[in-house]
Amino acid sequence: MSSAALRSAVHQSRRTAFARSARFASTSAKAPTLKERLAELIPAEIENVKATRAAHGKKSFGPVIVDQLYGGMRGLPALIWDGSVLDAEEGIRFRGKTIPDIQEALPKAPGGTEPLPEGLFWLLVTGEIPTQEQVTALSKEWAARSAIPSFVEEILDRCPPTLHPMSQFSLAVTALNHDSAFAKAYAQGINKKDYWQPTFEDTMDLIAKLPNIAGRIFRNVYGDGKLPAIEADKDYSYNLAKLLGYAEKPEFVELLRLYITIHSDHEGGNVSAHTGKLVGSALSDPFLAFGASLNGLAGPLHGLANQEVLIWLRKMQSKLGENPTDEDVREYVWTTLKGGQVVPGYGHAVLRKTDPRYTAQREFALKHLPEDPMFQLVSKVYNVVPNVLLEAGKAKNPWPNVDAHSGVLLTHYGLDQMNFYTVLFGVSRAFGVAAQLIWDRALGAPLERPKSYSTAAINSMFQNKQ
């Protein structure tokens, strides 16, 4: 089956599964809560999966070649991930919707223009665009769940400021397992068909508590340790900005709304998403599963990429000045490549075009900070690098990815503590991982156990084959 035909089949399957749901949503007298809506959707989706497996379960995606095993399983179809699908030419779609789609359709904060992440989470879980009322209710529920246990506060307060913020973040999230609803329910013998309910409660608690955890880490490492209170009537991004000390900058709050939304999910094969799904498949609760996700996200090849971009840009700016010519930039890029280094922020394992997440951030910058010197440098790099990479034959995709822009935006508003950037990425990625964990438990997803081979076994297997 071709990739285009597969995408068409997936979209049609989703439309069928959620058509009845959409009709209900449009006629309901009182908008259901997220949990109520999910409970209505699950039976139909269970039947949809059964029908899909009955119709297509024995069909093949195509051959698996040995190079895929040695090459990080690139392009290997191996996972079910409902929230988003990444197309090499088109970019990410959240439940079938592009980033411009969700920027237009999702509810906004009063006076705001960027989508609220609460609405994106609703979309990831249900496949539906929520109402303003539903998003406001979700904001309030997360604010009500936001307090972290005193022992977790103490753990963070006792961490030395030299401990990397991501290590502290993972530590605190893992410690939330102490109060896991799923762990308690499992110990009490809950029926498998009901696994999704305590999983839902845990994921709601997880997302709700992340701003307090992130804010406490930020204030302990970079400030005086004093943390303001979350405001019960404000949205998630506003409260995170307040905890970081940036609530008085409305543009920064808007940036956080965009940032969390576009970083929330990028299908299931990336390290953080796959790790969360893998650990969750062992019926580890969402806190343990997402703690593992964070450890993967902390790696230089995953969540640290935006820092490397910013460091590279600052070195370029230091050498070339604030207003280099295109030719200056071109020569600097060639120097980077000839030095055996990569150009950070360019290329992607799947994408073969400019990352739509980069485009969304560029549009934000053009609107709010067009004269920022670092943004202007990013723009020049954007005009120069793809042609250089094509000329050098260094990349199948010479176009910028999401990391090529995010650090510059955060720095513009004063958040220049680069070691903290991955924590913000982690807050965002919780949305996608949490949504999939809920559906994995609702659909009875099994323990992941792929087959592995040794090099000796591969040589033996193909020894007498052409």
Which positions are annotated as active-site residues? 302, 348, 403
Residue 224 tokens read as 């005086």
Helix pair angle (236-244, 117-126), 10° resolution: 130
CB 430 within 8 A of CB 276: no
* Count of beta carbons in the 10 Å neighbourhood of residue 291: 24
Q: Could you give the CA distance from residue 374 to residue 323 in angstroms, rounded to a whole number?
A: 9
**Given the DSSP bridges, would you call strands 91-94 and 84-87 parallel, antiparallel or unpaired?**
antiparallel
CB 232 within 8 A of CB 140: yes
Q: Could you give the CA distance from residue 419 to residue 21 in angstroms, rounded to a whole number?
A: 43
* Count of beta carbons in the 10 Å neighbourhood of residue 414: 12
Beta carbons within 8 Å of 287's beta carbon, 6+ residues apart: 173, 174, 175, 176, 177, 180, 202, 206
CA angle in degrees (0–180, nearest 5) for 348-354-358? 95
How many CA atoms does the CB half-sphere of 199 hold within 13 Å? 31
Nearest to 359 by CA among 54, 21, 100: 100
Beta carbons within 8 Å of 373's beta carbon, 6+ residues apart: 317, 322, 323
CA dihedral 45, 49, 54, 58 (to 10 degrees): 170
DSSP per residue, 197-211: HHHHHHHHHHHHHHH
CB 223 within 8 A of CB 245: yes
DSSP per residue, 360-387: HHHHHHHHH-TT-HHHHHHHHHHHHHHH
Quick one: DSSP state of residue 418?
A: G
Beta carbons within 8 Å of 282's beta carbon, 6+ residues apart: 447
